[in-house]
Amino acid sequence: MSTDEKIIKQLTSRIERLERAVFGSGKKPVEKKNPETNYKGATGGIRMLIGKNFFSGKKSLADVRKALEEKGYHYSGPAVQMALGRMSNRTGPLLSSENKGKKVYVIRK
């Protein structure tokens, strides 16, 4: 093997290493999703309740907080209310409405 061939082989090897570092190996790692651990924060707790069909009927903020506390999610009223507000926007999974002067939430169909 000549000197030029050795240099070309070294450079090719180096370029391949750099490309793998910058662009990845082409294989994306598969992230295992455990439903019990992917529900983090107040929004995660609400997503968990959505998955368990909790919002099949109208639920008030107090109902949601009580259900979250039963599942081990202890958040203040404003934190849960903000998460519900974000999840009941135009494209969110929940729908909010007024019922006897109080805001209630239900799953969007």
Residue-wise pLDDT for 30-82, tens only, equals: 555 555 557 788 899 999 999 999 999 999 999 999 999 999 999 999 999 99
Domains of the chain, by residue range, sit at 41-107
**Does 106 score more than 80 pLDDT?**
yes
Q: What is the pLDDT of residue 104?
A: 95
Query: What is residue 20's predicted lDDT score, i.e. its pLDDT?
Result: 85
The yes or no reply on domain 41-107 and CATH 3.40.50.11540 is no
The Cα 53–Cα 50 span in angstroms is 5
- pLDDT(95) > 90: yes
Q: What is the pLDDT of residue 40?
A: 86
Note whether 97 and 64 are within 8 A (CB). no
Cβ neighbour number for residue 40 with a 10 Å cutoff: 11
Q: Could you give the CA distance from residue 66 to residue 72 in angstroms, rounded to a whole number?
A: 10
- Categorize the per-residue pLDDT at 86 as very low, low, confident or very high, splitting at 50, 70 and 90: very high
Q: pTM, whole model, 2 decimals?
A: 0.64
Specify the pLDDT at position 32: 54
What end-to-end distance do the CA atoms of the chain give, in Å? 70
56: Cβ contacts below 8 Å, ≥ 6 apart: 106, 107
Mean pLDDT score, 20-32: 69
